Amino acid sequence: MFALLAVLWGTSFMAIEVGLEVLPPALFAALRYDIAGLVLFGYALVAAEDWRPRGRDEWVVVFVGGALLIGVHFTLLFSGQRYVTSGVAAIVLSLSPVLTPLFAWTMLPEERLDFFGFLGVFLGLVGTVVIAVSSGSVGGQLLGVVLLFLAAASWAFGSVLVKRLPGNPPVAPMQAWMMLLGSGMLHIVSPLLGEPGLAQVAWSPLVVGALLFLAVLCSAVGFIIYFVLLDRIGAVEISLVSYAVPIVAAVSGWAVLGEDIGPATITGFLFILAGFAFMKYNALGPVVRDIGVRAGLVAPKHVSDRDPVPADD
Protein backbone atom coordinates (compact mmCIF):
# COMPACT_ATOMS: atom_id res chain seq x y z
CA MET A 1 0.00 0.00 0.00
CA PHE A 2 2.87 2.35 0.83
CA ALA A 3 4.56 1.69 -2.53
CA LEU A 4 1.32 2.13 -4.48
CA LEU A 5 0.66 5.45 -2.73
CA ALA A 6 4.18 6.64 -3.61
CA VAL A 7 3.66 5.73 -7.29
CA LEU A 8 0.29 7.48 -7.50
CA TRP A 9 1.44 10.66 -5.79
CA GLY A 10 4.84 10.66 -7.52
CA THR A 11 3.33 10.55 -11.00
CA SER A 12 0.68 13.13 -10.04
CA PHE A 13 3.18 15.97 -10.49
CA MET A 14 3.39 15.31 -14.23
CA ALA A 15 -0.41 15.46 -14.47
CA ILE A 16 -0.43 18.72 -12.50
CA GLU A 17 2.08 20.21 -14.94
CA VAL A 18 -0.20 19.28 -17.85
CA GLY A 19 -3.30 20.76 -16.23
CA LEU A 20 -1.63 23.99 -15.14
CA GLU A 21 -0.93 24.83 -18.78
CA VAL A 22 -4.60 25.77 -19.21
CA LEU A 23 -6.21 25.70 -15.73
CA PRO A 24 -5.61 28.25 -12.93
CA PRO A 25 -4.28 26.53 -9.79
CA ALA A 26 -7.14 26.95 -7.28
CA LEU A 27 -9.82 26.13 -9.87
CA PHE A 28 -7.79 23.12 -11.03
CA ALA A 29 -7.57 21.82 -7.45
CA ALA A 30 -11.28 22.51 -6.88
CA LEU A 31 -12.31 20.50 -9.96
CA ARG A 32 -10.00 17.68 -8.93
CA TYR A 33 -11.69 17.34 -5.56
CA ASP A 34 -15.20 17.89 -6.89
CA ILE A 35 -14.75 14.69 -8.90
CA ALA A 36 -12.79 12.80 -6.23
CA GLY A 37 -15.31 13.70 -3.53
CA LEU A 38 -18.27 12.54 -5.64
CA VAL A 39 -16.51 9.26 -6.50
CA LEU A 40 -15.78 8.55 -2.85
CA PHE A 41 -19.25 9.63 -1.80
CA GLY A 42 -20.77 7.09 -4.20
CA TYR A 43 -18.41 4.43 -2.85
CA ALA A 44 -19.33 5.32 0.74
CA LEU A 45 -23.04 4.95 0.00
CA VAL A 46 -22.42 1.37 -1.16
CA ALA A 47 -19.59 0.16 1.06
CA ALA A 48 -19.78 2.10 4.33
CA GLU A 49 -22.14 1.42 7.20
CA ASP A 50 -22.81 5.14 7.61
CA TRP A 51 -22.60 7.66 4.78
CA ARG A 52 -22.03 10.76 6.94
CA PRO A 53 -20.16 11.74 10.11
CA ARG A 54 -22.07 11.51 13.37
CA GLY A 55 -21.72 13.94 16.24
CA ARG A 56 -19.62 17.03 16.80
CA ASP A 57 -16.26 15.23 17.12
CA GLU A 58 -16.52 13.54 13.73
CA TRP A 59 -17.60 16.74 11.99
CA VAL A 60 -14.63 18.58 13.53
CA VAL A 61 -12.28 15.95 12.03
CA VAL A 62 -13.92 16.42 8.61
CA PHE A 63 -13.68 20.20 8.82
CA VAL A 64 -10.02 20.19 9.89
CA GLY A 65 -9.07 17.65 7.21
CA GLY A 66 -11.01 19.46 4.50
CA ALA A 67 -9.52 22.84 5.43
CA LEU A 68 -5.86 21.89 6.01
CA LEU A 69 -5.30 18.73 3.93
CA ILE A 70 -7.38 19.84 0.92
CA GLY A 71 -8.19 23.55 0.86
CA VAL A 72 -5.03 25.17 2.23
CA HIS A 73 -2.58 22.47 1.17
CA PHE A 74 -3.60 22.22 -2.49
CA THR A 75 -4.10 25.94 -2.97
CA LEU A 76 -0.47 26.40 -1.91
CA LEU A 77 0.77 23.34 -3.82
CA PHE A 78 -0.83 24.19 -7.16
CA SER A 79 0.15 27.85 -6.82
CA GLY A 80 3.76 26.99 -5.97
CA GLN A 81 4.16 24.50 -8.80
CA ARG A 82 3.58 27.26 -11.34
CA TYR A 83 7.06 28.56 -10.50
CA VAL A 84 9.08 25.34 -10.19
CA THR A 85 9.50 22.03 -12.01
CA SER A 86 7.54 18.96 -10.97
CA GLY A 87 10.70 17.38 -9.52
CA VAL A 88 11.53 20.38 -7.34
CA ALA A 89 7.90 20.54 -6.18
CA ALA A 90 7.99 16.91 -5.09
CA ILE A 91 11.29 17.47 -3.31
CA VAL A 92 10.13 20.50 -1.34
CA LEU A 93 6.95 18.70 -0.29
CA SER A 94 9.10 15.82 0.98
CA LEU A 95 10.03 18.13 3.86
CA SER A 96 6.75 17.16 5.55
CA PRO A 97 8.41 14.22 7.39
CA VAL A 98 10.80 16.78 8.91
CA LEU A 99 7.94 19.05 9.98
CA THR A 100 5.57 16.32 11.16
CA PRO A 101 7.63 15.27 14.23
CA LEU A 102 7.81 18.91 15.29
CA PHE A 103 4.00 19.05 15.51
CA ALA A 104 3.75 15.50 16.91
CA TRP A 105 6.25 16.34 19.67
CA THR A 106 3.57 18.10 21.72
CA MET A 107 0.38 16.68 20.18
CA LEU A 108 1.21 12.96 19.86
CA PRO A 109 3.67 12.04 22.65
CA GLU A 110 3.43 8.32 21.84
CA GLU A 111 4.93 8.98 18.38
CA ARG A 112 8.05 10.84 19.47
CA LEU A 113 11.20 9.88 17.61
CA ASP A 114 14.29 8.36 19.19
CA PHE A 115 17.90 9.13 18.20
CA PHE A 116 17.80 6.93 15.09
CA GLY A 117 14.51 8.49 14.06
CA PHE A 118 15.91 12.01 14.22
CA LEU A 119 19.05 10.84 12.41
CA GLY A 120 16.81 9.45 9.66
CA VAL A 121 14.90 12.73 9.42
CA PHE A 122 18.19 14.63 9.18
CA LEU A 123 19.52 12.38 6.40
CA GLY A 124 16.26 12.75 4.50
CA LEU A 125 16.50 16.52 4.79
CA VAL A 126 20.10 16.43 3.54
CA GLY A 127 18.95 14.40 0.54
CA THR A 128 16.21 16.87 -0.35
CA VAL A 129 18.64 19.79 -0.06
CA VAL A 130 21.19 18.05 -2.33
CA ILE A 131 18.54 17.42 -4.98
CA ALA A 132 17.09 20.92 -4.72
CA VAL A 133 20.48 22.63 -5.00
CA SER A 134 21.50 20.41 -7.93
CA SER A 135 18.35 21.42 -9.82
CA GLY A 136 19.73 24.94 -10.16
CA SER A 137 16.24 26.40 -10.07
CA VAL A 138 15.41 26.93 -6.41
CA GLY A 139 17.30 30.18 -6.01
CA GLY A 140 15.54 31.84 -8.93
CA GLN A 141 12.12 30.54 -7.98
CA LEU A 142 11.98 31.38 -4.29
CA LEU A 143 8.27 32.25 -4.27
CA GLY A 144 7.33 28.80 -5.52
CA VAL A 145 9.56 27.12 -2.94
CA VAL A 146 8.06 29.21 -0.11
CA LEU A 147 4.52 28.34 -1.20
CA LEU A 148 5.40 24.65 -1.41
CA PHE A 149 7.08 24.76 2.01
CA LEU A 150 3.89 26.21 3.49
CA ALA A 151 1.93 23.46 1.70
CA ALA A 152 4.16 20.85 3.37
CA ALA A 153 3.62 22.53 6.75
CA SER A 154 -0.15 22.55 6.25
CA TRP A 155 -0.09 18.84 5.39
CA ALA A 156 2.12 17.93 8.37
CA PHE A 157 0.05 19.92 10.86
CA GLY A 158 -3.25 18.65 9.42
CA SER A 159 -2.12 15.00 9.54
CA VAL A 160 -1.09 15.25 13.18
CA LEU A 161 -4.22 17.18 14.17
CA VAL A 162 -6.55 14.67 12.47
CA LYS A 163 -4.77 11.87 14.34
CA ARG A 164 -5.00 13.82 17.61
CA LEU A 165 -8.70 14.72 17.48
CA PRO A 166 -11.14 12.36 19.26
CA GLY A 167 -13.52 11.86 16.33
CA ASN A 168 -12.99 8.72 14.24
CA PRO A 169 -15.48 8.59 11.34
CA PRO A 170 -15.31 5.74 8.77
CA VAL A 171 -12.54 6.31 6.21
CA ALA A 172 -14.53 6.50 2.97
CA PRO A 173 -17.28 8.87 4.16
CA MET A 174 -14.70 10.98 5.98
CA GLN A 175 -12.63 11.30 2.81
CA ALA A 176 -15.66 12.16 0.68
CA TRP A 177 -16.85 14.90 3.03
CA MET A 178 -13.30 16.27 3.45
CA MET A 179 -12.84 16.50 -0.31
CA LEU A 180 -16.20 18.13 -0.95
CA LEU A 181 -15.63 20.62 1.87
CA GLY A 182 -12.12 21.36 0.61
CA SER A 183 -13.25 21.77 -3.00
CA GLY A 184 -15.95 24.17 -1.84
CA MET A 185 -13.28 26.27 -0.13
CA LEU A 186 -11.19 26.21 -3.30
CA HIS A 187 -14.14 27.36 -5.43
CA ILE A 188 -14.49 30.35 -3.08
CA VAL A 189 -10.75 31.10 -3.13
CA SER A 190 -10.43 30.90 -6.93
CA PRO A 191 -12.37 34.11 -7.84
CA LEU A 192 -10.88 35.89 -4.82
CA LEU A 193 -7.47 35.27 -6.40
CA GLY A 194 -8.72 36.76 -9.68
CA GLU A 195 -8.61 33.46 -11.57
CA PRO A 196 -10.58 33.07 -14.82
CA GLY A 197 -13.67 30.85 -14.83
CA LEU A 198 -14.44 27.56 -16.56
CA ALA A 199 -15.73 29.29 -19.69
CA GLN A 200 -12.21 30.55 -20.44
CA VAL A 201 -10.47 27.17 -20.11
CA ALA A 202 -9.11 25.67 -23.37
CA TRP A 203 -10.05 22.04 -22.73
CA SER A 204 -8.31 19.18 -24.53
CA PRO A 205 -8.37 15.37 -24.18
CA LEU A 206 -4.95 15.48 -22.50
CA VAL A 207 -6.10 18.00 -19.88
CA VAL A 208 -9.29 16.03 -19.20
CA GLY A 209 -7.22 12.85 -18.84
CA ALA A 210 -4.85 14.55 -16.42
CA LEU A 211 -7.78 15.84 -14.35
CA LEU A 212 -9.43 12.41 -14.16
CA PHE A 213 -6.13 10.70 -13.29
CA LEU A 214 -5.57 13.14 -10.44
CA ALA A 215 -9.16 12.98 -9.20
CA VAL A 216 -9.91 9.26 -9.33
CA LEU A 217 -6.55 7.53 -8.80
CA CYS A 218 -4.32 10.03 -7.02
CA SER A 219 -7.08 11.52 -4.85
CA ALA A 220 -9.97 9.09 -4.34
CA VAL A 221 -7.85 5.93 -4.23
CA GLY A 222 -4.73 7.62 -2.85
CA PHE A 223 -6.45 9.30 0.09
CA ILE A 224 -8.16 6.08 1.20
CA ILE A 225 -4.75 4.38 1.24
CA TYR A 226 -3.22 7.35 3.08
CA PHE A 227 -5.76 7.40 5.90
CA VAL A 228 -5.76 3.62 6.31
CA LEU A 229 -1.99 3.83 6.77
CA LEU A 230 -2.32 6.91 9.02
CA ASP A 231 -4.48 4.82 11.35
CA ARG A 232 -2.22 1.75 11.20
CA ILE A 233 1.29 3.20 11.44
CA GLY A 234 0.86 6.80 12.66
CA ALA A 235 1.38 10.30 11.33
CA VAL A 236 5.19 10.32 11.56
CA GLU A 237 5.77 7.07 9.67
CA ILE A 238 3.18 7.65 6.93
CA SER A 239 4.74 11.07 6.33
CA LEU A 240 7.77 9.14 5.02
CA VAL A 241 5.84 8.58 1.79
CA SER A 242 6.96 12.12 0.99
CA TYR A 243 10.53 10.77 0.74
CA ALA A 244 9.49 8.12 -1.79
CA VAL A 245 7.41 10.50 -3.92
CA PRO A 246 10.41 12.53 -5.28
CA ILE A 247 12.05 9.30 -6.41
CA VAL A 248 8.95 8.31 -8.35
CA ALA A 249 8.59 11.86 -9.70
CA ALA A 250 12.20 11.93 -10.94
CA VAL A 251 12.05 8.46 -12.51
CA SER A 252 8.69 9.13 -14.20
CA GLY A 253 9.97 12.49 -15.42
CA TRP A 254 13.01 10.77 -16.90
CA ALA A 255 10.95 8.00 -18.52
CA VAL A 256 8.06 10.11 -19.85
CA LEU A 257 9.37 13.66 -20.18
CA GLY A 258 13.02 12.90 -20.91
CA GLU A 259 14.33 14.73 -17.83
CA ASP A 260 17.89 13.91 -16.80
CA ILE A 261 18.80 12.28 -13.50
CA GLY A 262 22.32 13.44 -12.67
CA PRO A 263 24.85 12.21 -10.07
CA ALA A 264 23.72 14.80 -7.52
CA THR A 265 20.13 13.62 -7.82
CA ILE A 266 21.19 10.00 -7.30
CA THR A 267 23.26 11.06 -4.27
CA GLY A 268 20.24 12.84 -2.83
CA PHE A 269 18.10 9.76 -3.33
CA LEU A 270 20.68 7.65 -1.47
CA PHE A 271 20.53 10.04 1.49
CA ILE A 272 16.74 9.83 1.43
CA LEU A 273 16.80 6.03 1.36
CA ALA A 274 19.32 5.96 4.21
CA GLY A 275 17.07 8.27 6.19
CA PHE A 276 14.11 5.99 5.56
CA ALA A 277 16.17 2.99 6.74
CA PHE A 278 17.08 4.71 10.01
CA MET A 279 13.48 5.77 10.59
CA LYS A 280 12.41 2.13 10.14
CA TYR A 281 15.43 0.39 11.66
CA ASN A 282 13.32 -1.56 14.19
CA ALA A 283 11.21 -3.08 11.41
CA LEU A 284 14.03 -3.49 8.90
CA GLY A 285 16.50 -5.15 11.31
CA PRO A 286 14.84 -8.58 11.45
CA VAL A 287 14.24 -8.51 7.69
CA VAL A 288 17.90 -7.73 6.94
CA ARG A 289 19.03 -10.49 9.34
CA ASP A 290 16.72 -13.02 7.69
CA ILE A 291 18.12 -12.12 4.26
CA GLY A 292 21.65 -12.50 5.64
CA VAL A 293 20.85 -15.95 7.07
CA ARG A 294 19.35 -17.11 3.78
CA ALA A 295 22.41 -15.84 1.89
CA GLY A 296 24.77 -17.56 4.33
CA LEU A 297 26.29 -14.25 5.45
CA VAL A 298 24.90 -14.38 8.99
CA ALA A 299 24.79 -17.34 11.35
CA PRO A 300 21.25 -18.40 12.30
CA LYS A 301 20.13 -17.64 15.83
CA HIS A 302 20.15 -20.77 18.00
CA VAL A 303 17.60 -21.44 20.69
CA SER A 304 19.15 -20.96 24.14
CA ASP A 305 19.06 -23.76 26.71
CA ARG A 306 17.17 -21.36 28.95
CA ASP A 307 14.58 -20.56 26.29
CA PRO A 308 11.25 -22.31 26.92
CA VAL A 309 10.63 -25.34 24.75
CA PRO A 310 7.12 -25.46 23.31
CA ALA A 311 5.09 -28.42 24.49
CA ASP A 312 3.91 -31.08 22.05
CA ASP A 313 0.31 -30.88 20.90
Question: What is the CA 182 to chain-centroid distance, rounded?
Answer: 17
DSSP class of 137:
-
pLDDT at 32: 92
Asked whether residue 109 is domain-assigned, the answer is yes
pLDDT at 306: 44
Asked whether residue 301 is domain-assigned, the answer is no
pLDDT at 308: 47
Q: List CB contacts of 141: < 8 A, sequence separation 6 or more.
A: 83, 84, 88
Which domain covers residue 166, as residue numbers?
1-295
Asked whether residue 58 is domain-assigned, the answer is yes
The span from the CA of 85 to the CA of 95, in Å, is 16
Q: How many domains does the chain have?
A: 1
pLDDT at 296: 62
Asked whether residue 310 is domain-assigned, the answer is no
Q: How many CB atoms lie within 10 A of CB 135?
A: 19
Nearest-CA neighbor of 220 among 77, 47, 100?
Answer: 47
pLDDT at 7: 92
- Alpha-helix runs per DSSP H in the chain: 2-20, 25-47, 55-64, 73-80, 86-93, 96-107, 115-135, 142-164, 171-192, 205-212, 222-233, 235-238, 241-257, 263-279, 281-294
Asked whether residue 302 is domain-assigned, the answer is no
pLDDT at 208: 93
Asked whether residue 35 is domain-assigned, the answer is yes
The predicted-structure confidence for 272-312, as pLDDT tens digits, reads as follows 778 777 776 766 566 556 655 666 655 666 544 444 444 54
Asked whether residue 313 is domain-assigned, the answer is no
The predicted-structure confidence for 245-280, as pLDDT tens digits, reads as follows 888 887 887 787 676 667 877 787 788 778 777 776
Which parts of the chain register pLDDT below 50? 303-310, 312-313
Asked whether residue 43 is domain-assigned, the answer is yes
pLDDT at 304: 46
Question: What is the CA 141 to chain-centroid distance, rounded?
Answer: 23
The span from the CA of 48 to the CA of 70, in Å, is 22
Cβ neighbourhood burial of 166 (10 Å; 0-12, 13-18, 19+) = exposed
pLDDT at 307: 47
